[in-house]
Structure 1
Amino acid sequence: MPQETQEIRTVQIRNRAGMHARPAAAFVKLAGQYRAHVRVAKESLEVDGKSIMGVLMLAAEQGSELRVTASGDDAAQAVEALVELVDRGFGEA
């Protein structure tokens, strides 16, 4: 039985407003484009990265560190894309 691929990266929220509704929606939409199972965590709270309510529950402010974890065939691509989205500040100033 083949081993399931897992990818984990940590990224810091850069945009001033943090992960409010619009950035959370962008994160969830992007995560949904991958087959991988995506989880995102802030401190001890870990949620489903494809759930808008879960991602909003993180209440991630500017400077917060998030741990993005994905498992499955396209886990590496999913994590890379999600980390890049956060690194770009979700396209916000």
Structure 2
Amino acid sequence: MLTKNIVVMNKAGLHAKPASLFVQTANEFSSEIYISKGSTRVNAKSIMGVMILAVSKGDEILLEVNGDDEKAAMDRLTSLIENKFGMPDE
């Protein structure tokens, strides 16, 4: 299992379009993927779960990936977050 703490720095956090893009990307992998914020842990392949976390700009999340393609999944999801979901800040 791989884990990584990441600070979400895009303006919208993990809401609406970024959340949808994150979930779509997570679903491309067979690994189990979870996101935690504080004491709440959700399945990263569930849009409702991700939205429940209410991750805002500047929030730190814990990304957990476990499975056959865990490294590729971690690299891709980390890159997505670090590159602000390809969306310019307004």
TM-score range, shorter chain: over 0.9
Counterpart of 1:58 in structure 2 is 53
DSSP-derived class of the 1:15 partner = coil
Scaled by the length of structure 1, what TM-score is found?
Answer: 0.91
Paired AA for residue 53 in structure 1: M
Cα distance in 2, alignment partners of residues 78 and 17 from structure 1? 22
Structure 1 ranges of 4+ moved more than 6 A:
none
What is the aligned length? 88
Extract unaligned runs of 5+ from structure 2.
none
Counterpart of 1:21 in structure 2 is 16
TM-aligned CA deviation for residue 36 of structure 1? 0.2
Counterpart of 1:33 in structure 2 is 28
C-alpha RMSD of the superposition: 0.7
CA radius of gyration, larger in: 1
Extract unaligned runs of 5+ from structure 1.
1-5
Identity %: 35
Scaled by the length of structure 2, what TM-score is found?
Answer: 0.94
DSSP-derived class of the 2:30 partner = coil
The answer to whether the 8 Å contact 2:8/2:58 transfers is: yes
What is the aligned counterpart of 1:85 among 45, 55, 80? 80
Cα distance in 1, alignment partners of residues 84 and 53 from structure 2? 16
TM-aligned CA deviation for residue 24 of structure 1? 0.5
